[in-house]
Amino acid sequence: MSSSDELIMSSNELVEAHSLLWHSGLDYMKSMSLKCAIELDIANVIHKHGQPIPFSKLVDSLKIPPSKANFLYRIMRILVHHGFFTAQKVNGGKTQEEEEAYSLTNASRLLLTDEPALIMNMKSLSLFFLLPAVVNSWQSWSTWLKNSDDMTLFETAEGKTWWEYASQEPGLNHLFNDAMANDSKLTAKIILEECKEVLEGLKNLVDVGGGTGTMAKAIVNAFPHIKCTVLDLPHVVANVQETSTDNLNFIGGDMFSEQIPPADAILLKNVLHDWTDEACVTILKRCREAVLSNGNKGKIILIEIVVETQKTTNKETTELQLLNDVFFMGLSAKERTLLEWEKLFSAAGISHYKIIHTFGIRSVIEVYP
């Protein structure tokens, strides 16, 4: 078929192609309506109401001026469409006319704050993805791609690395650390319920890039005989160092220059996807040395994505893995396929690994130095 023949489409094909591009251009409205709902604290307002909240009551509770009520109605309509809330018709309101009343879904329950029954919260992570500095860097994506310098996209846009940026913005540092800590609450629950054996028999563990220590605390609570050390950047551990105990210790330093303490196990959770292959090989080599210097039977435990692009894989799983992959392009980093993981291990002098468990889009991988 000649190239001009390919340009001839049926009406259906034309509408389908047109819709895909139209939809892709507006996809960010889903993110922005979620951000708006979080900033307005809609989930907590609905929860505090104790029953489905009629639209007119929601308008009053959020102090939305009557002239803007219709805008809120339409934001709620798309949020319901995307599964963040549900809506049902009720009689009532000021005019006694039928109106919508909104309830939470499991997704919006994860936006509730100060709810001890909830093991984690997704508010900080959702807001982090949509921070102006994070979103703005993507405006220079195509320009950055053509530059031959080795700056990351984030550095090109902001003039500093993401880690420098986070260290200089206390609010953002807190938001990021809180997002990671909440993710660790979920991961700790999964590991302790579904593959606890990965931690059994260990006497000590170092969580490299372990953030504010949520994962390490969960490990110490479940296995009080394991001595845990968290190594992370000084600005990250600054406020938690005083919470050190006999079996939980924090070190503020750079994993590329600070010595990683010898241990039976080194945990790297969501760390390697922040780095280039070269940096990952350096990190893995340093972790390997720390394990080997403690005897021969240790291991490195990775909690990371293994990208699956086979047709048999659930489409949504692959999509979220690929979205993460392009997101980490902002740091010149990436999510990796199994083959790419194997290449990294081999470059770091590691020949054996085992995927112990897969949950959602991530896997727990034991790596034996």
Site string for ligand SAM, 148-167 (x = CB under 6 A): ---------------x----
Of the pair 20, 151, the CB lying nearest ligand SAM is at: 151
CB of 321 to ligand SAM, least distance (A): 16
Closest of 361, 358, 360 to residue 198, by C-alpha: 358
Residues 38-97 that bind ligand SAM (CB under 6 A): none
Task: Confirm or reject binding of residue 369 to ligand SAM (CB under 6 A).
Answer: no
Of the pair 211, 369, the CB lying nearest ligand SAM is at: 211
Of the pair 206, 233, the CB lying nearest ligand SAM is at: 233
Among 52, 54, 209, 330, binds ligand SAM (CB under 6 A): 209
Residues 167-206 that bind ligand SAM (CB under 6 A): 180, 183-184
Please list the helix, strand and coil fractions of the chain in percent, rounded to the nearest 5, in that order.
Answer: 50, 20, 30
CB of 176 to ligand SAM, least distance (A): 8
Among 236, 260, 287, 306, binds ligand SAM (CB under 6 A): 236
Measured between alpha carbons, how far is residue 63 from residues 40, 41, 57, 194, 341 in Å?
Answer: 10, 12, 10, 45, 51
Measured CA to CA, the distance from residue 353 to residue 365 in angstroms comes to 7
**Catalytic positions, please?**
273
Task: Confirm or reject binding of residue 123 to ligand SAM (CB under 6 A).
Answer: no
Residues 242-271 that bind ligand SAM (CB under 6 A): 254-256, 269-271
CB of 193 to ligand SAM, least distance (A): 18
Of the pair 55, 165, the CB lying nearest ligand SAM is at: 165
Closest of 135, 118, 117 to residue 126, by C-alpha: 135
# chain residues binding ligand SAM, by CB under 6 A: 18
CB of 177 to ligand SAM, least distance (A): 7
Measured CA to CA, the distance from residue 186 to residue 205 in angstroms comes to 19
Closest of 293, 211, 222 to residue 251, by C-alpha: 211
Strands 227-232 and 248-252: parallel
Measured CA to CA, the distance from residue 369 to residue 367 in angstroms comes to 6
Q: Which residue minimizes CB distance to ligand SAM?
A: 209
Among 125, 198, 233, 251, binds ligand SAM (CB under 6 A): 233
Among 169, 274, 277, 342, binds ligand SAM (CB under 6 A): 274
First CA to last CA across the chain, in angstroms? Answer: 54
Burial class (CB in 10 A: 0-12, 13-18, 19+), 241: middle
Among 211, 213, 330, 369, binds ligand SAM (CB under 6 A): 211
Measured CA to CA, the distance from residue 177 to residue 211 in angstroms comes to 6
Closest of 90, 117, 118, 114 to residue 102, by C-alpha: 90
The residues of the shown chain that bind ligand SAM, judged by CB under 6 A, are: 163, 180, 183-184, 209-211, 231-233, 236, 254-256, 269-271, 274
